[in-house]
Structure 1
């Protein structure tokens, strides 16, 4: 039983970066943009976060660097596809290939290196519940942050005016004229 709990804990931890990427991808897709460059953004964030964490010894600096690298790649994708009107499919695939190549080049000096995992947060009383406690209530802060972000983005898209406008414009690009909203409001460069 302990082996099964360890495997499931590992699955939850391994899925956390995918949850962060999926949250961003959900918002982009709901806005009506096809982003095939998400893998390139993820790998650039991964190597930036790993290298900064290893070089600085600070997990916070690594997390910020990972988010910044992903944001820069996403901004580049947004400018190319929304401002310069480049083909979204070709740009996304190019960004993925670029991200994979740059991360391989950047990561050559870090081959074989590793860091100590983030400390787990054990929620008092709840983490002591058999089976469920170690499975759900003994994770690092990023796992809990991803769960909070999923709920926050779901609430934003479903319950706020901005979320409704984002979804409406994503479904029908002509809907922005019906909501008295100008499209450049969602423009990454504007």
Structure 2
């Protein structure tokens, strides 16, 4: 499983943390259906059940970038990026369906209709000679729980692993009654008619 690690390791990371691809992926990599050949990826699995997550994107200048938000039903409620936001970056509050409240000033709210979501981040990369510049941008991406906003938040570096998960087939994990099923947060939000990416 992509999140069954104690800290970010290669292309895997715990929930609510980024895994950064530092080189172009091999054609054999099937983590997503088809990787771009001119971007470096930053992927994060998120859990929005308890509270919003604040996604910070640094200024990107003229460089193409996108942070595609993919909900539990594989729809895209928002995709902030160079086309929609420009090169200034910004702070985006990912808000699950059951949270009520107000986000801090200056935060752009993104309502996600399921409490689990994937961030598919991509930053244009002009080849291996451009890797260092893109790595510096990737390292400035952050995910901070709303309750920790305004503090010197550091993501946990030793997330406990649930015993048996790595060896349990995914269908069995989804159906496990003791956890309500991995997809229970998505199941509480029936499939909806997508409104189109913003």
User: Which range, TM-score by smaller chain?
Assistant: under 0.3
Structure number with greater Rg is: 1
Q: TM-score, normalised by structure 1?
A: 0.27
TM-score by length of 2: 0.27
More helix by share: 1
- Structure with more of its chain in strand, by fraction: 2
